[in-house]
Amino acid sequence: MQNSSPVADDRHHKLAPQRVLVSRKNAGRALVVLASAGFLLVLLIQILHSIGATTAGYTDWRPVLYAYLVWAIAFGIGQVMVRGERGQRALFLFPAVLFTVAVVIFPTLFGIYIASLDWNLSSFEGPHFNGLNNLIGLFHDDYYWNALRNMIFYTLAVLGEYAIAFGLALLLNAEIRARRMFRVVFLLPLMLSPVAVSWMIGKSLMEYRFGPAATLARDLGWDNPAFFAFPWVARLSIEAMDAWVSIPFIMIMLLAGLQAMPKEVLEAAKVDGASGWQSFWHVTFPLMLPVSVTVLIIRIIFKLKLADIVINVTAGGPGGATDTVSSFIYRVYRDRSNVGYGTALAMFYLLMIIAFLTVLLRLSKRWTQKVA
């Protein structure tokens, strides 16, 4: 993840040489071993119980969860005892890592397993192994590639959202009256749930016959304001709704960046006689690059998951023009219960996103370092 301030070396504390008593070390090791053994024991009992090998055990796996919790605590204490200050440092990261791993590891592994299956929930034989067939099928799936092409548009549209949000942030940062009120008002769209946005805006406000947006469009001279009947208009309409919800998020991040900018630099630019445009382009914008990159990447990640609004408002139509990868996966997975293939689609998508983000991060790192 790119960040406004890459972790610089001097930021890290030097390790103070500190001796950890040998006995304490051993006690710590013993604790970890003991806790691990206990955890494994509970796990083993439960596995044996669930495969029917023993009668001892619990009705569900909840005790394993508690055992994991106990193990995690013991592991943390053990770390400190064994590794001293190093352990204390690791302790900052451990809770989040252990939590994420615990919640994610099973679903991920199970997900990868499902992705390799031919599994339609309605099928009589149940799931059976399918090897790479899902992957091969995916390459011949027009819907998937069509959705991916649409994603390129949606992703590029983030730049437009960014431009508007930047403009708004500049406005809010100018010397204006009632600044606080404007800030609150500009933040409001963020609060609406996608379901409400789809229905109250997409299906009511932008309705062809009675929607005020359609009425306005007619007054402006568009005879036939069908927002979702023509491919490009539909795509733009969906994008407009998504932008409406998410611009506040970008705006508020950029505004924060602007307010933190050293005033002296701008003063200096003025003294040098730079025009407004010049001082923006040569001073403000470069200084805002790091925060811009961060917010853009977060926004792109969210954009790549765009689904709710599309599902509710156009169901991907007309003719797949507004379909997104996520909304297509929803149809495959939910409407058609084709969970094996649906999961394979998502896993492949995940790989593509990770590759895309890695490249993006590399590039952005180079840019931000150049200006910095």
Sites for other proteins among residues 75-94 (CB under 8 A):
85, 88-93
> How many other CB atoms sit within 10 Å of the CB of residue 340?
25
Interface residue with other proteins, options 78, 325, 364, 368 (CB under 8 A): 325
Site for other proteins in 23-42 (CB under 8 A): none
- CB 370 to other proteins: min, Å: 17
- The smaller minimum CB distance to other proteins, of residues 38 and 111, is found at 111
Q: What is the CA radius of gyration of the chain?
A: 27
Q: What is the DSSP string of 97-134?
A: HHHHHHHHHHHHHHHHHHHTEE--TT-SS--EE-TTHH
274 is an interface residue for other proteins by CB under 8 A? yes
CB of 34 or CB of 355, closer to other proteins: 355
Residue closer to other proteins, measured from CB, 29 or 334: 334
To the nearest whole angstrom, how small is the minimum distance from the Cβ of residue 205 to other proteins? 5
Query: Least distance (Å) from other proteins to the CB of residue 275?
Result: 7
Rounded to a whole number of angstroms, the minimum distance from the CB of residue 162 to other proteins is: 15
By the rule CB under 8 A, 359 interacts with other proteins? no
Question: Per the structure block, which two tokens stand in for 24?
Answer: 């304490």
Interface residue with other proteins among 150, 162, 346, 364 (CB under 8 A) is 346
SS3 label, residue 147: helix
Q: Which two tokens stand for residue 240?
A: 């407009």
| Nearest one of 231, 265, 238 to 326, comparing CA atoms | 238
Binding residues for other proteins restricted to 114-133, rule: CB under 8 A: 114, 118, 120-125
Decide: is 321 part of the binding site for other proteins (CB under 8 A).
yes
Categorise residue 6: left if φ over 0, alpha if ψ from -120 to 50, beta otherwise. beta
Establish if 49 lies at the interface with other proteins (CB under 8 A): no
Q: Is the separation of the CB atoms in 190 and 184 below 8 Å?
A: no
The CB-of-315 to other proteins minimum distance in angstroms stands at: 4
Q: Between vectors from CA 208 to CA 204 and to CA 212, what angle results, nearest 5°? A: 55
CB of 282 to other proteins, least distance (A): 10
Q: Are the C-beta atoms of residues 355 and 178 closer than 8 Å to each other?
A: no
